[in-house]
Chains A and B, each alone.
Chain A
Amino acid sequence: DAKTTQPTSMDCAEGRAANLPCNHSTISGNEYVYWYRQIHSQGPQYIIHGLKNNETNEMASLIITEDRKSSTLILPHATLRDTAVYYCIVTEGILTGGGNKLTFGTGTQLKVEL
């Protein structure tokens, strides 16, 4: 699986967009980009994933560069409840029987403040 690089921490004002970058310069053609987040004392929560195209759902948008070597997770209107560690994961690793193996790094601690 390709390695990812994320900033250790970021701050964002409440109501503003939070843009979380991820570098994955060694990504291969069949690897997906996943984003999860982990709020303190809870298990990780899936946010979004993509292969080549930009994706949007009710939680966030995912922008993947044309060369696929980096991506940005966008939370359009961050709230205090979005304070969490955000993990960018790149994997193609299909497990026996289906499902992707996810290797979580140390992520980005996003702090949303008033």
Chain B
Amino acid sequence: DVKVTQSSRYLVKRTGEKVFLECVQDMDHENMFWYRQDPGLGLRLIYFSYDVKMKEKGDIPEGYSVSREKKERFSLILESASTNQTSMYLCASIGQGPYEQYFGPGTRLTVT
């Protein structure tokens, strides 16, 4: 089974802190994604990466950056966390067949 893991299930950070959210997949997938999920807004794509060191902006990239140094790992970075970045963050990966995204369990981030 494909496994997508995220470094933390719950995280509490202070405004202005730099925050790293890590995602690792074990199926050699090329494409990886970061979403955030907020009540009433569904899932929104922040960034995605289709290869090592490659990244593209999704629908809401402002306030975020990403890093993909190794194929299995995709990191989401909040350079200076703000309270409006309190959310559930979901990582996903997909192989060459473009039909099925595999999601991690999510990280619930609270910025105070």
Binding site for B on A (CB under 8 A): 32, 34, 36, 41-46, 49, 87, 94-107
Contact = CB atoms under 8 A, between A and B. Distances in A.
B42 A45 contact: no
B interface SS class: strand
Given A95-B31, A96-B50, A106-B40, A42 B105 contact: yes
Interface stretch (B11-19, B69-77, B79-87, B92-100): B92-100
Interface residues of B, number: 31
Contacts of B40: 106
Interface in B29-61: 30-31, 35, 37, 40-45, 48, 50-51, 54, 56, 58-59
A43 B90 contact: yes
Given A43-B92, A99-B50, A94 B43 contact: no
B30 A97 contact: yes
